[in-house]
Structures are given as structure tokens and as C-alpha cells.
Amino acid sequence: MWFIPNLGSVTVLLIFYPILLILYPLTKKLSKKIASCHKNKRAIRGQLFYQMPLGFVKGNYIVLVICAFLNLLYGTWGNGTSTFNQTIACITLIFLAVFPISIQKFLLNRRADLKKQSFRRQFSVAYEDLIEKDKKFFAYPLVFYYRRLILPFVILYFNK
């Protein structure tokens, strides 16, 4: 079982995102030569390095979790390719288990910066649907993410 092809359309983003990261230095060079590109460079940087990865993980969290669990459940550790796929699935699950806690810790530590326009532009996807004034609402995404992590595990592994 292949981990990457099972992701479907998410694979397209996994392929094009590194290409965008490689092309980003080109915009830096253009912004030095063309004044109007400087403003666009800052917007691209905010989207490329902060909004896009956070939005990708938030939007595809359940897909990534299910694919990783399916790969671990039905995959084998036999040859080099399947071992590579199993390793990627393990790394993905570890990342997905740590992601909610790290994002919430970051949000709580930088809550005062939310008033700054530049910070909001970069990290607004992380603050989506949260009431910033009430500290207990910052715990809601943890429940949301971990429910999405535990539910596929229970369905796949205890469905006998």
C-alpha cells in the first residue's frame, strides 16, 4: 500500500508546495528590481510560509490521519519501498499527534500579537473560529483535532 498516492488530490499540493518554495527566491530578486513586486513579495511570504501549511494541515487533518492509519494497518515492513511507506506513515502520525498541542501553545503565547495586522495576516488561519478574548476557547481545537485522531484509530483497529 502506497502512502502518498492514497492521499488523492492532496498529493498535488505535496508536489507543488516544494516547487513554490523553490521559486520564492525568484520573487525576492524581482522585488529588488521592480518596486510593485515588493508588496506582493510580503503577501506571498505570509501565504507560502504560514497560511498555506497551517491551512493544509487543518483542512486535511482527517485525510492524513486515515491514510496513515490505513497504511500502518494494511502495509508491510518487507521490502525497501513498503518500509519507506510505513516510515512515512509513522512520521506523519507523530507530526499529527504533536501538531495540535504545538499550535495551541503557540497561539496562547502569541495572543497579544493578534492585534498586529502583520501577525493576523500570517497566522489568521490558526485563529479561525476562535474567540480571542476567552482563554478556554483555545482548548476547543485540541478536542477537535484529537477527536479526529482517535476516531479513525478506534474504527480501524477495533472494527472486528
Phi, psi of 105 (to 5 degrees): -65, -40
Number of other residues whose CB lies within 10 A of the CB of residue 31: 17
**Whole-angstrom Cα distance, residue 112 to residue 103?**
15
pLDDT in tens, the chain (160 residues): 455 555 666 666 667 777 777 777 777 776 676 666 666 666 666 666 677 777 778 888 888 888 888 888 887 777 777 788 888 888 989 999 998 888 888 877 877 777 787 777 777 777 666 666 666 666 777 888 888 888 888 888 887 6
For the chain, how many helices (H) and strands (E)?
7, 0
Domain that holds residue 31: 5-157
The reported pTM is 0.71
**What is the number of domains present in the chain?**
1
